Amino acid sequence: MRFSEFGLTTLKEVPAEAEIVSHKLMLRAGLIRRLASGLFTWMPLGLRVLRKVEAVVREEMDRAGALELLMPAVQPAELWQKTGRWDQYGPLLLRMSDRHDREYCFGPTHEEVITDIACRELRSYKQLPLNFYQIQTKFRDEIRPRFGVMRSREFIMKDAYSFDIDADGLEISYQKMHAAYSAIFDRLGLDYRIVWADSGEIGGSKSQEFHVIADSGEDAIAYCDEDNYASNIETAVTLPVDGKRPDASQSLQKIATPGVQTIQDLCALLNITARQTVKTLIVEGTDGPVAVVLRGDHELNAVKAQKIDRIASPLTMADPHTIREATGSEAGSLGPVGLQIPVVFDHAVAGMADFSCGANEIGYHYTGVNFERDLPLPETADMRNVVAGDPVPGGIGTLSIARGIEVGHIFQLGTKYSEAMGASVQDSGGKDRSLEMGCYGIGITRIVGAAIEQNHDDNGIIWPEPLAPFNVVIVPINMHRSDAVRVAAEALYEELQSMELDVLFDDRDVRPGVKFADAELIGIPHRLVVSERGLEADELEYRHRRDDESRNLNREAALNLLKESAIS
């Protein structure tokens, strides 16, 4: 590609709307342009990267035996009503109606459509196992689209769905996808981790996520390399505290705490740490409000809390009116002592003695609170976020926390969708059996942003070779004034193209500094400079995007180097 014909505009300024580095660089390098909230155009340069991601994903899915198809993006409401998700999915689902007032949604995912295919096409266990996949545009009306293509409303997903006759078959299909995903993210040159995950509203049992490790990641991951454990913090387990709590050493006291609203306020007033306090939250329960009590320095984990029987799902905080009716007080002054509603304590609270909490009276707190004396023995549950230093659940060592960007997610769905929609086949004994399903997603567009989060410097993007929009850029110096440079640069351009490299030939009549800056910004791995001085010495100046210095190589050495590193 000749730069002069590529229509690329790069930006010097950092666009104000971009919060994180990948979003800034994608805009500056001209990979994407914003149309509206969460909607982006992939410009020619960006599309080249996207196509490279797709190619790797497609190759590995094909290699794993999955079959590509293409389903409609728009889906009839009836299918979603059959599985109950028309009501469950909520405002994330973009709904619309046609001229006959029939209702539809723009697909955020395709379990319903593929299960409908299975209902129509599959009759016998002999047709199994099967795994269908597509690479297609999805829409989710995200409450907070941000970070450019990382959390957009319209995005491209690779979604795959497997069908098996029994749970053993499903396990094999799932492991095949686990292996294929590992191969994909290895090939893309990303630093990633595979973590246990929650199945969310898609449903099912076993599920794992693939996370690209980056400080800007929206997810927290708890891991321990010693124990080979890694889980999304949403599902990372805490165990009941073992051993006894310390003996009570303080008497229960009710003290005036005017103006104290938060744990920090209370700690400052009493000169104690948050670990010596508990916080009490009132949430909606399945049968009236429930109090949830955590150690003051711990955070409530919604995903785990809403799985507790008496707590309503999705987790919903009680409104101020309900709180007053249930406690006689307000948020900021709540505590478990004397509460008349069901109380669930986090496991960690059971190990506490002599702690402080609200007295259910505005402007008052208790200190020196102890179980068995001031409160009955607690009913405890796992409902806090793990923190660094917590023990690995059921293993050895302690947890560390890292941030991750979820780029892939694999699930065992079981028979949830096949039962709801009547997708069954005859087994070898002639009996009808609901299909065992798995589903497997990869965020194709999100991967591009995630790769940049991991691969950049102050000057711009540094593409891992398999993702680079161009492998090599040719920068001629003063080509418009030197015939020798022009002829040599054109010849080099021809030759590199014939090596099946993606080549960008910067034939613009602009200063070399501008060309160098653009090549660095858009992140092309290899750069070759053609200059009069170099030609006299029969040399090209070579620099890898990650190198600090350039070096002079003769033409053959430069070509060999490109051949070796660019073609994987």
Residues forming the site for ligand ATP (CB under 6 A): 109, 140, 142, 151-152, 155, 157, 200, 406-409, 441, 443, 445-446
- The residues near 211 (Cβ < 8 Å, ≥ 6 apart) are 192, 193, 194, 195, 217, 219, 221, 232, 404, 405, 406, 407
How far are the Cα atoms of 69, 153, 191, 221 from residue 214, in angstroms, in the given order? Answer: 33, 22, 9, 11
Least gap, CB of 155 to Mg ion (angstroms): 13
Least gap, CB of 510 to ligand ATP (angstroms): 35
By CB under 5 A, is residue 23 in contact with Mg ion? no
DSSP state letters, 405-438: EEEEEEEEEETHHHHHHT-EEE-TTS-EEEPEEE
Least gap, CB of 304 to ligand ATP (angstroms): 16
Query: 3-state class of 84 per DSSP?
Result: coil
Segment contacting Mg ion (CB under 5 A): 38-46, 61-69, 328-336, 403-411?
A: 403-411
Least gap, CB of 176 to Mg ion (angstroms): 19
Residue 406 vs 436, nearer CB to ligand ATP = 406
Least gap, CB of 119 to ligand ATP (angstroms): 22
Residue 85 vs 151, nearer CB to ligand ATP = 151
Residue 180 vs 349, nearer CB to ligand ATP = 180
Distance CA(195)–CA(337), nearest Å, equals 39
The answer to whether 301 touches 383, Cβ cutoff 8 Å, is yes
> Closest residue to Mg ion, Cβ-based?
409
Least gap, CB of 482 to ligand ATP (angstroms): 47
Least gap, CB of 262 to ligand ATP (angstroms): 29
**Site for Mg ion (CB under 5 A): how many residues?**
1
Number of H helices, E strands in the chain: 15, 30
Residue 159 vs 541, nearer CB to ligand ATP = 159
Residue 135 vs 352, nearer CB to ligand ATP = 135
> Closest residue to ligand ATP, Cβ-based?
443
Least gap, CB of 247 to Mg ion (angstroms): 46
Least gap, CB of 450 to ligand ATP (angstroms): 8
Three-point CA angle 69, 72, 77, nearest 5°: 135
CA dihedral 55, 56, 58, 63 (to 10 degrees): 140
By CB under 5 A, is residue 409 in contact with Mg ion? yes
By CB under 5 A, is residue 545 in contact with Mg ion? no
Residue 441 vs 525, nearer CB to ligand ATP = 441
Segment contacting Mg ion (CB under 5 A): 316-324, 406-414, 429-437, 455-463?
A: 406-414
Tokens of 16: 């104000």
Residue 441 vs 476, nearer CB to ligand ATP = 441
Residue 200 vs 240, nearer CB to ligand ATP = 200
DSSP state letters, 312-353: -SS--BPPHHHHHHHHSS-TTS--STT--S-EEEEGGGGG--
CA dihedral 355, 360, 364, 370 (to 10 degrees): -20
Strands 154-164 and 436-443: antiparallel
DSSP state letters, 520-552: HHHT-SEEEEE-HHHHHTTEEEEEETT-SS-EE
By CB under 5 A, is residue 416 in contact with Mg ion? no
Question: Of ligand ATP, Mg ion, none, which one does residue 142 interact with (CB within 5 to 8 Å by kind)?
Answer: ligand ATP
- The residues near 278 (Cβ < 8 Å, ≥ 6 apart) are 293, 294, 295, 296, 335, 336, 349, 352, 355, 356, 357, 369
**Interface residues for Mg ion in 197-216 (CB under 5 A)?**
none
Residue 140 vs 545, nearer CB to ligand ATP = 140
Q: Applying CB under 5 A, which residues contact Mg ion?
A: 409
